[in-house]
């Protein structure tokens, strides 16, 4: 009797985990939101909705596959660099998050960003490199680790603040403004 009950329980659990979820159709609603869609491979993937806050939106295109130099990997435009170098709109509204030692991040990921354990939520901010006196507006992207852990900075931001690409610059990080 115990073996029958155990077999029935195992089959019930297996049926729950492997049973079909039904067909989900990815149609936009009246407000423009898109539900999860079920692609041909049967996997359900989330879909972005208009108006979702995405602070890591990249304006610059990814670098070409055959990129070899810093100039080829940095696909930001002069206008994007000028905007990132501009002073914050409300400097009095800035708040210092502290300092971090940064390494060069993924060079294939375009834009101006800093992956850092100094933030818990994605947002906008600024990095300042005292050695050059230059700063850059960046997307702050949280990563796991202690606040004293290191950060990763984008190639475009590193070039803008004139930090040596082969060194580990100490940066001051700000949020808000």
30 lies in the same domain as 75: no
Give how many domains the chain has, as a whole number. 2
- The token pair that represents 53 in the structure block: 């806050």
Q: Are 96 and 128 in contact (CB under 8 A)?
A: no
The CA–CA distances, whole Å, from 19 to 11, 16, 154 equal 11, 5, 44
Which domain, by its residues, includes 32? 18-51
168 lies in the same domain as 112: yes
91 lies in the same domain as 163: yes
The Cα 59–Cα 142 span in angstroms is 20
Render each residue's pLDDT in the chain as its tens digit; 177 residues.
454 444 444 444 444 444 344 443 444 444 444 444 445 555 555 544 443 434 444 467 888 888 888 888 988 888 898 998 888 777 778 999 999 999 999 999 999 999 999 999 999 999 999 999 999 999 999 999 998 899 999 999 999 999 999 999 999 999 986
**Predicted TM-score of the model (pTM):** 0.64
Tell me whether residue 113 is in a domain.
yes
Q: What is the pLDDT of residue 67?
A: 85
171, β-bridge pairs: 100
């Amino acid at each position: 009797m115990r073996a029958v009950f155990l077999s029935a329980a195992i089959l019930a659990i297996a049926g729950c985990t492997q049973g079909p979820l039904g067909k989900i159709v990815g149609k936009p609603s009246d407000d423009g939101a898109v539900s999860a869609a079920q692609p041909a491979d049967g996997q359900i993937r989330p879909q972005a909705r208009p108006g979702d806050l995405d602070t890591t939106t990249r304006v610059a295109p990814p670098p070409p596959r055959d990129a070899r130099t810093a100039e080829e990997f940095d696909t930001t435009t002069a206008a994007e660099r000028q905007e990132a170098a501009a002073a914050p709109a409300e400097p009095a509204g800035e708040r210092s998050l502290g300092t971090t030692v940064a390494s060069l991040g993924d060079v294939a990921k375009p834009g101006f960003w800093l992956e850092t354990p100094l933030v818990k939520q994605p947002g906008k901010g600024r990095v300042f490199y005292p050695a050059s006196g230059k700063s850059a507006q960046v997307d702050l992207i949280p990563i796991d680790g202690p606040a004293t852990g290191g950060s990763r900075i984008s190639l475009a931001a590193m070039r803008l603040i004139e930090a040596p690409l082969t060194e580990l610059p100490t940066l001051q990080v700000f949020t808000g403004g």
